[in-house]
Amino acid sequence: MRIKGIKPTLLLTLIFLLLSLFTNAQLNGADSAWFSQIFNSPMYVTNKMPNDHFFVHNDIQSTADLHNILANDFKFSLPDFKSIDAMLLNDTIFYDTDRNTTYNQYPLAFNQQDPLTYIKFELNAKKGTAFNFLYPRTSPNNVRCDRAFLIVPGNGNNTASEIVQGYGQYNELCYLSNDLRNAGDVYAMMKPNEDARAIYWNKYKLDHPAVIDLLINNQQRYGLNYLIEIIATIKTLKQKYNQVILLGAAEGGYASLLASMVTHPFATIISGGYSIAFDTSMPSYNVLLQKFDSLVSIYDHNVIKNNILTYQTKYLFAWGNNEPIVLMQAEHDSNYTQAFFNDTTKISYHYNFTGHTFPYCSAIDSFLNKQLNPHTLSFIDLNIDKKDTLTAFIQNCNLAYCRFDLYKNNIIYKSYDYFKGDTIIQLIDTGTYYLNNISTLYGDHLDCTDTIFFIKTKPYSLDYNFGIHYNNPVSKQLVIKNNLGNKRRRYEMYDLFGNCKFRMESLEPQVEFNMSNYLKGVYILKVIEGPLSEVVKIIKI
């Protein structure tokens, strides 16, 4: 049969193109069966939740969708890495409005307002985006404590969400993000095809091995791409913070080690993620080759050792017992890497824990407290109350639990037992105040050179019974109930640096303030009734 005016070869070509377009527009039987084999991993939100605005990508509808997303999310290759010094950065950290609007409707899910952020960068004319959860420091930063931590997970499913929520493999021994927030802002990397970046179809995420195979077929590498995102994130954070500290576990530890070779952060912690035997163990070498291309040979054990000894980054390498990874268990038992590096000036080692995870918080804190500088507390006059009482803020930039004695006029006034992070105290008597005998649970001695002078001008009124009750700590609404009848009172809320958050007067027996958008931490509520006032510490959770 011959259609008039069209040659048979041209007709066959047109039919092929039409079939191709149809196949790309929707799944045929073979592609649907293939998708059923490669989309089997759970997503980071339950299948019963609406998908709108939880995910960066839309539900896959065709093979063309799948290949387009893979091409967009994994566009970098080895030549791009070799041009890493030419990376162009946008120095802005953006908040992912679409996802955060959804997250904020479920405050118990992530326990943080607007947690998802992203940065933009460009390398060899290719535009990239790196996503991170951000959990700000539990009290406001000042210049001396301006510090960021970046946590890089391994290959677990949706582990960035687990890290910040406090469960899962990497939190087995230490709720890491919560611990680090005592000393700086915490970023947890969201790797491609994980959490909100899932590539999904029919309510299931693309399996990790399938991603690896698809990328290899396209001459791309999974690990190489998220490594470049780590580097872009560190470079951006170094523009905004005095210190950037990198923490990686498992394969995320290996990627963090490679990233530190390029970016030289202040400190790097690698847990269960590296062995000098990577160079000689063919099974491990081949796995890394599939994900990081020839970087596994470019950065052999000699190059890594030379880089560590050349630059100023301090390292902690950790290996647990009962490791599922054979080489990591060998490192725990035989200390091959420690013997080869043969350095205790820039490198520390820790073996006293169990599992393929981060070590105990105490081990991480101990390492960081040896590196964080200066070893001091700050004794700050918040300038909130200058009449009958003064509120002072003690800022601890270290991760260690501290104790100290408060002196007034060179005589010990009160002793404070161990606390972590920052705290506030009330000064109620005229005098010259300073801190002394400061120590940590690790036996370190800290300094504090600040002195506060307080002259009391009105009778101390903190013990005056206003007859009011507070819901404290507060997650959303602060409710203040007055049980002594209607009296005109003024209410003032301050953060720990004396910035007024709100101020109002009311005769009502109950007043409420919306604190849902406040950062977690400590706030000061001052209630004023005529010449009297009461100061209360409010905890936002």
The pLDDT tens digits for 117-174 are 999 999 999 999 999 999 998 876 555 678 999 999 999 899 999 999 999 999 999 9
pLDDT bracket for residue 445 (50, 70, 90): confident
- DSSP label at 207? P
Dihedral sign, Cα of residue 490, residue 491, residue 497, residue 500: negative
pLDDT bracket for residue 43 (50, 70, 90): very high
- DSSP label at 203? T
| Helix axes of 222-240 and 208-217: crossing angle, nearest 10 degrees | 100
d(CA 525, CA 503): 10
pLDDT of residue 384: 60
73-101: average pLDDT: 94
336-345: average pLDDT: 92
**Dihedral pair phi/psi, residue 127, rounded to 5°:** -90, 130
d(CA 351, CA 511): 54
Partners of 151 in the beta sheet? 188, 247
Residue 324 CB neighbour total at 10 angstroms? 10
d(CA 481, CA 231): 51
pLDDT of residue 26: 66
List the structure tokens of 516: 């849902």
Residue 53 CB neighbour total at 10 angstroms? 16
pLDDT of residue 318: 98
Is residue 191 within 8 Å of 197, Cβ to Cβ?
yes
d(CA 196, CA 198): 6
Helical ranges in 270-348 per DSSP H:
282-292, 295-298, 301-310, 326-334, 336-341
SS3 state of residue 78:
helix
d(CA 396, CA 402): 8
Nearest to 360, CA basis, from 418, 417, 321:
321
| Cβ contacts of 172 within 8 Å, gap of 6 or more | 355, 357
pLDDT tens by residue, 233-253: 999 999 999 899 999 999 999
Task: Say yes or no to pLDDT of 104 above 80.
Answer: yes
Lowest-pLDDT range of 63-67, 186-190, 228-232: 63-67
Tell me the CA distances in angstroms from 202 to 65, 69, 199, 369, 408, one per residue in order. Answer: 14, 16, 11, 48, 68
269-275: average pLDDT: 97
Task: Say yes or no to pLDDT of 25 above 80.
Answer: no
Is residue 138 within 8 Å of 111, Cβ to Cβ?
no
Give the alpha-carbon dihedral of 55, 235, 396, 320, to 10 degrees. Answer: 70
Higher-scoring residue by pLDDT: 98, 49:
98
d(CA 511, CA 100): 29
Is residue 434 within 8 Å of 392, Cβ to Cβ?
no
List the structure tokens of 15: 């039919």
pLDDT tens by residue, 370-384: 887 557 888 888 766
Peptide bond into 473 cis (omega under 30): yes
